[in-house]
Amino acid sequence: MLRAKAVVAIYDFENRRQLFGAVDSRARFAVLVLSRRQIEQFDVAFWLQSTEELQDPQRTQRLSMDALSLLDHECLAIPQFRDPKDLRILLAALAAHVRFAAKEEFAHTMRLMFSSSDAAFSVMEFGEVADDRAKTVRDGKEPEWLPVYEGKMVGLFDHRKADIVINLKNQTRPAQDRELLDDEKRDPDRFARPQFWIRSSAVRNRRFGERSGQKDWELVFCDVTSASNERTSIPCIVPLSGLNRSLPAITCRRLARKPHQKCWQRFPVWPLITLPDSGSPRII
């Protein structure tokens, strides 16, 4: 619809003022206005709480396809903003400087290894065997089962930020993270303990590094946040493991056949914007 220039307006609302009384106040919905004739520019607004706010010129922003292509040429995703000034600043910065991902030395590919609906994502729950796995790897042996890493297990430059523990009293989200203590991290064999384990053969068939000659470590970033958060991305290098959808792997295209650590050195700080489809972070 965007490429066909059929979009007249996109208005994003949150239900804080109970526009829909029977719906949770945190729910969000959007109004999409379309036209049969081509529209060169369209209006956008995010985080609206009432229709009256549409009358405020400070709450909406007009966008063209050229501007949208500058933001995200492939997906045409629009960053969420509360103040149109934020979007204008971003557009001005991108117009004045080359996009981070457009530089050859920073060219990269992001890929999900597994999703929960993936037929190859056949997992098991075991006891606390992470430390035994570490000893097996140290002895040069290939473990039959590998941990499934997820976003909440890692931190900024920290591949063992938290264990996953099961709280049966929490029926909505029983799998919770528990941060490792400094005393626990003094043990080099102490890995983060996951909820699930997956066969190493499945990981070998899916991981990027297997086809690019990289060692058994993967460059990833935590794809878990809220659209209301403002932060940089959380990159990390994790050991050989399965990766779920909250922990995408990244491979530098130019250095695909060189050690992963060299690619890592090219990403000292990663910028981040939040996209409207899921509120997930994306590198620009």
Asked if the model's pLDDT at residue 179 lies above 90, the reply is: yes
Say if CB 107 and CB 249 are below 8 A apart. Answer: no
Is 0.75 topped by the overall pTM? no
Q: Is 266 within the bounds of a domain?
A: yes
Residues 24 and 46 in one domain: yes
Residues 153 and 47 in one domain: no
* Per-range mean pLDDT, top range of 35-39, 97-101, 173-177: 35-39
| Dist CA 172 CA 281 (whole Å) | 24
Q: Is 235 within the bounds of a domain?
A: yes
SS3 content of the chain, % helix, strand, coil (to 5): 25, 25, 50
Q: Is 1 within the bounds of a domain?
A: no
| Dist CA 26 CA 71 (whole Å) | 27
CA 141, 147, 150, 151 dihedral sign is negative
Residue recorded with tokens 């997906």 = 75
Boundaries of domain holding 179: 105-282
| Dist CA 231 CA 184 (whole Å) | 28
Asked if the model's pLDDT at residue 93 lies above 80, the reply is: yes
Output the pLDDT for position 127.
59
Residues 41 and 127 in one domain: no
Number of domains composing the chain: 2
3-state secondary structure of 5: coil
- pLDDT tens figures, 77-87: 788 888 888 88
Residues 212 and 123 in one domain: yes
| Dist CA 238 CA 99 (whole Å) | 27
Output the pLDDT for position 188.
87
Residues 76 and 176 in one domain: no
